[in-house]
Chains A and B, each alone.
Chain A
């Protein structure tokens, strides 16, 4: 009850402070229009912002706890990272990409930088094999030759540089070795080492984030988690798009009974809530897979891909239907072009922008679904490191946060790693949608 009284008092202080602020502003500037026309709400908003700032500084320097400091430090580190990333993008690249970076808000820059960091961690978590480098080179060289031979634009020539850069990074990382200090399923004799690496508090400098309940290095598992969780989510999203977009475009182009059948099936599948349906199917899949963890993961990829492809189907069909009625499709049909040409050369290029934005959103949903399933214990299976499972296994340490802040970091880091990536992707998608919708109001 007293808390509610405090809140009411605080609101009163804010409004009163706002009134005083506006009044004094009017006095000081001889009734300048900015202060004269300022609504009381805006004035109180300034006071609330000021109070929040003072409170934050007070908590950070004097009376705060470690978590608040870490959050503020993390926020500043990522802001600086995003700022420099945007600055770099404004200097390098083609004129088009430089323009893109100049218009980019900080949130989108933060999102892109974070996605790149995650991709880097995911790819180089373990030792890069020499075969991978050859594979990249074999895929990359024809791409470069193709780009050089068929396009003369600035963008095409930059592909060469990107390709060389990627191969160079791979070769460097081959010699640098894996980022993760240990293997993801390597078990050490000392379990439950406290994070922080301070021997006096029960830590160990060799394990900066400590070890889990059976003695696996948490830092290594966090880094490998990027590989497993993000990789599996990415594969699932690609599969969902393959299924959903194929059927969606087919339905839009052919229409008639095929469209009717697929659409009704999708309606039924969408009527069951996604997470519930996934859990039901995972029960059945776990009965089929038995104790084979890898097989269960494959089943999970297929199940989530199918469930999510229904949403992709809806979008692809809607976008496709809008394109199919265009004159150039009519012209192509009259020319006698086949179904493949219509879908790949006419519809697909015109549907890339909405599909790309949807890919980002879908990736977030798939990623969160997988994380939730793993958190509930039916997702990615044990020998593989995975963030959702780590949160579940380490969650009880949060209760020690009051007297041993380090102990509570591991589950929060794993959960935060999931949140950070989805937030980053959402920021980028939000910016893309805002840009393509042309909303400038």
Chain B
């Protein structure tokens, strides 16, 4: 158990180091932009003195590394700075009241929650479906059913997300009005209504991630079917279903858990396009909007959040596959 703890801690440390380096890359990339915060915020009204004043106030006159560490330190405490768009808006409106809403953290927090809700709903649908489909495809391998699911999943994995989204809108919202095509969820909405509105984007995401998980489940199980202990079970006369569920599945669990964790990472980061299609107020939508108006603090913060989620879930996949595999648990 001690060695397991050490390996897990090692991976965690590596994850933290990666995250710090990634944050540095993001910082450098954003600071490579021509012009700076002062020019962006003043726009046409830029003068040398005003720019100087703003730079001094925000701390842009300090050296590069000092700025990086103060940004990182603030980000760790949940303070991502002030959004350009909100700052401009506040300046035009001429008031600073309600400035609590102006911070990046305040505008991201509810959207992050929405995105996590969407990813959660999608995962609740996708994981059981893909596991069952993978098991069935392994059980009835090389039959019409297997070939059909293979073609179907390959097609859905290789279609762009917006194509699947519009097909679903066409089928389930326009031609047969079962579900709403706009997912305008807001705070204080009853859970059932929110769930119904989230269903269509969640189904789109399900179509995207199911294929990968299902193919991996099938491959992992079929890989095991050639091993001697399966042969033994088959010779004992156990039914094919029982062989796969009781004998093959536990040993195929490591790659399956791994691919599920990877797809959860994809769910959180891959929501951007789906959120835009369904106008779902998640962090992906905010990210794209900020990219278009070059709202740097928001872009920076959402990018960091996406990267953190991605790294953490990859880390989780790593740790789980170590824990579920005795050979990795006791390295020589």
Contacts and interface: CB of A to CB of B under 8 A. Distances in A.
Contacts of A441: 141-142, 222, 225-226
A180 B157 CA distance: 31
B70 to A, nearest CB: 21
A122 to B, nearest CB: 18
Contacts of A419: 155, 158-160, 163
Contacts of B33: 283-284, 287-288
Interface string B20-33: 01100110011011
A378 B157 contact: no
Given A45-B145, A107-B151, A287-B34, A282 B162 contact: no
Contacts, number: 161
Interface in A383-413: 388, 391, 395, 398-399, 401-402, 408, 411-412
A376 B33 CA distance: 21
A370 to B, nearest CB: 10
Interface in B1-59: 18-19, 21-22, 25-26, 29-30, 32-35
A368 B178 CA distance: 29
B272 interface: yes
Nearest to B14: A267
B29 A280 contact: yes
B230 interface: no
B238 to A, nearest CB: 13
Interface stretch (A17-25, A204-212, A237-245, A270-278): A270-278
A288 B160 contact: no
Contact of B160 (A65, A280, A408, A415): A415
B154 to A, nearest CB: 5
B159 A423 contact: yes
A422 B163 CA distance: 12
A242 B136 CA distance: 41
Looking at chain A's contact residues, the main secondary structure is helix
A284 B30 contact: yes
Interface string A410-441: 01100110110011011100100000000001
A276 B303 contact: yes
Contacts of A282: 291
A41 to B, nearest CB: 7
Nearest to A399: B174
Interface string B172-195: 001100100100000000000000
Contact of A426 (B136, B154, B181): B154
Nearest to A52: B148
Contact of A272 (B34, B178, B303): B303
Contacts of A377: 288, 292
Interface stretch (B85-93, B95-103, B305-313, B323-331): B305-313
Report the interface size class on chain B.
35 or more
B272 A376 contact: yes
B252 to A, nearest CB: 15
Interface string A254-280: 000000000000011101110111011
A222 to B, nearest CB: 14
Given A273-B310, A281-B29, A401-B170, A372 B162 contact: yes
Contact of A49 (B29, B144, B272): B144
A67 interface: yes
B162 A391 contact: yes
A226 interface: no
A42 interface: yes
A377 B181 CA distance: 21
Contacts of A269: 25
Contacts of A45: 140, 145
Given A273-B269, A441-B141, A430 B160 contact: no
Contacts of B163: 391, 415-416, 418-419
A72 B234 CA distance: 42
A268 B25 contact: yes
Centre residue among B139, B160, B296 by max chain A CB count within 10 A: B160
A398 B170 contact: yes
Contacts of B314: 271
A99 B136 CA distance: 33
Contacts of B136: 41
Contact of A375 (B155, B239, B273): B273
A426 B157 contact: yes
A430 B158 CA distance: 12
Interface in B130-154: 136, 139-145, 151, 154
Contacts of B140: 41-42, 45
Contacts of A94: none
A268 B21 CA distance: 7
A62 to B, nearest CB: 16
B288 A376 contact: yes
3 closest A-B pairs by beta carbon, nearest first, are: A273-B269, A419-B159, A415-B163
14 contacts: A45-B145, A49-B144, A271-B21, A272-B310, A276-B306, A280-B30, A375-B273, A391-B163, A401-B174, A402-B174, A419-B158, A426-B154, A441-B142, A441-B226
